[in-house]
């Protein structure tokens, strides 16, 4: 038997007081004149974010808003798993598991909850190593097995849909491949990327160009992932100790991976950025979340195999320009949509568009 316990976020005041002391004592580095985002995090934006964090941001308000959603914890395989479980009032509602990625958390989906509950029972867990789940890094397969237990044995959902992106993409693909009798269909915002092991002679010209794009992307943007996969402990000391450093590490990705127009604040509010950062800070999960890259890098995963479960894919302009041919190579593709707005965190940045696309797919004939 599994003991499901109601959960409320209630950060101790001493943690918040310590945070304010650390923010006040930030030792700011020098920066080139008019650096902007050209060298990484924009120092002008980060200083404005930290100033707001100290003088305008209200964690207790955000905590209350998050606690409006029913949250729980349960122990599975000696790990504590935190999850949201929002039941629809619709007696014919399907069940949908939503899986976040890095550097976000369950908070990625807070805007879409009220848009989905007319038609779906929602289960939104914190991946092991993230948020309020145990600080243990798991492979895609390991997390998938825990989530399958959560869905089938803890909550009693024998058949369900799943959707995810980033790390959540890998976990969702593993779920589909390991539990095809339970996962009726999946929706993804990426399907994985060429890694150089492919036989290029069997790839289309469009796929080859995509592979070249990804190779260049790794040179420009991939240093973080290499560090996570090889030396996560090295940067963990600084990121777990300095809230300003943690904010810099995370917010740079929200800027780089958003819809490529305007400024970061045209797409995310400071409150949204800080609430996501705060969940990492108060749970002290930046290290375990980064280690996830390392444990996944050294062994074959079911997420690396082609998915036979019906799959919908939406590619947003802030993400890599995945061609349809590549998606067809990786999954049993039933719907492929190139979106005109949104990025890596589409459920947060463009919730209406993301929900419409996901809902259209799961209601389509392809998954019946």
Instruction: Tell me the backbone φ, ψ of residue 286, rounded to 5 degrees.
Output: -65, -40
pLDDT at 248 (0 to 100): 98
- Cβ proximity of 167 and 133 under 8 Å: no
Answer yes or no: 344 catalytic.
yes
pLDDT of residue 366: 84
Average pLDDT, the chain: 96
Give the pairing of strands 5-7 and 183-188.
unpaired
DSSP 304: G
Q: Which of 107, 157, 293, 359 is catalytic?
A: 293
| pLDDT attached to residue 154 | 98
Low-confidence ranges of the chain (pLDDT < 50): none
Q: Which of 166, 190, 319, 359 is catalytic?
A: 166
pTM over 0.85: yes
Please give the Cα distance from 186 to 367 (Å, whole number).
9
Residue 157 catalytic? no
Q: Which residues pair with 122 in a beta bridge?
A: 86, 96
Q: Is 267 one of the annotated active-site residues of the chain? A: no
Q: Where are the alpha helices (H) located in the chain, listed in sequence order?
A: 13-24, 43-55, 59-66, 113-116, 140-149, 167-178, 205-221, 223-230, 232-241, 243-256, 270-283, 286-296, 324-330, 346-349, 351-362
Instruction: Report residue 42 as tokens.
Output: 């924009």
CB 105 within 8 A of CB 276: yes
Dist. CA 230–CA 294, nearest whole Å: 6
Domains of the chain: 5-14+46-367 (3.40.50.1820)
Q: How far apart are the first and last CA of the chain?
A: 33
């Amino acid at each position: 038997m599994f003991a499901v316990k109601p959960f409320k976020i209630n950060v101790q005041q001493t943690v918040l007081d310590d945070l304010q002391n650390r923010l006040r004592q930030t030792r700011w580095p020098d920066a080139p004149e008019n650096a902007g985002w050209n060298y990484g995090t924009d120092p002008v934006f980060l200083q404005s974010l930290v100033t707001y964090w100290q003088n305008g941001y209200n964690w207790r308000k955000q905590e209350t808003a998050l606690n409006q959603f029913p949250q729980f914890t349960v122990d599975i395989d000696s790990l504590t798993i935190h999850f949201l479980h929002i039941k629809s009032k619709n007696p014919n509602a399907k069940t949908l598991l939503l899986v976040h990625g890095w550097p976000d958390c369950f908070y990625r989906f807070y805007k879409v909850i009220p848009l989905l509950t007319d038609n779906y029972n929602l289960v939104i867990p914190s991946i092991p190593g993230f948020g309020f789940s145990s600080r243990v890094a798991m492979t895609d397969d390991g997390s998938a097995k825990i989530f399958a237990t959560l869905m089938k044995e803890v909550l009693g959902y024998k058949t369900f849909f799943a959707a995810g992106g980033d790390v959540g993409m890998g976990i969702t693909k593993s779920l589909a491949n390991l539990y095809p009798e339970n996962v009726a269909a999946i929706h993804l915002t990426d399907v994985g990327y060429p890694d150089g092991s492919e036989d290029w002679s069997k790839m289309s010209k469009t796929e080859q160009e995509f592979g070249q794009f990804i190779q260049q992307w790794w040179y420009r943007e991939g240093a973080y992932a290499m560090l996570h996969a090889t030396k996560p402990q090295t940067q963990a000391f600084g990121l777990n100790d300095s809230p300003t450093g943690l904010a810099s590490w995370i917010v740079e990705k929200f800027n780089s991976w958003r819809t490529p127009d305007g400024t970061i604040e045209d797409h995310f509010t400071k409150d949204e950025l800080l609430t996501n950062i705060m969940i990492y800070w108060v749970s002290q999960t930046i290290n375990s979340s980064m280690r996830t890259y390392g444990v996944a890098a050294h062994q074959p995963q079911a997420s690396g195999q082609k998915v036979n479960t019906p799959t919908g894919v939406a590619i947003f302009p802030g993400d890599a320009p995945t061609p349809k041919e590549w998606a067809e190579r990786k999954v049993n593709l039933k719907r492929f949509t190139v979106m005109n707005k949104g990025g890596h965190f589409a459920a947060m940045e463009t919730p209406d568009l993301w929900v419409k696309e996901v809902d259209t797919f799961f209601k389509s004939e392809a998954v019946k």
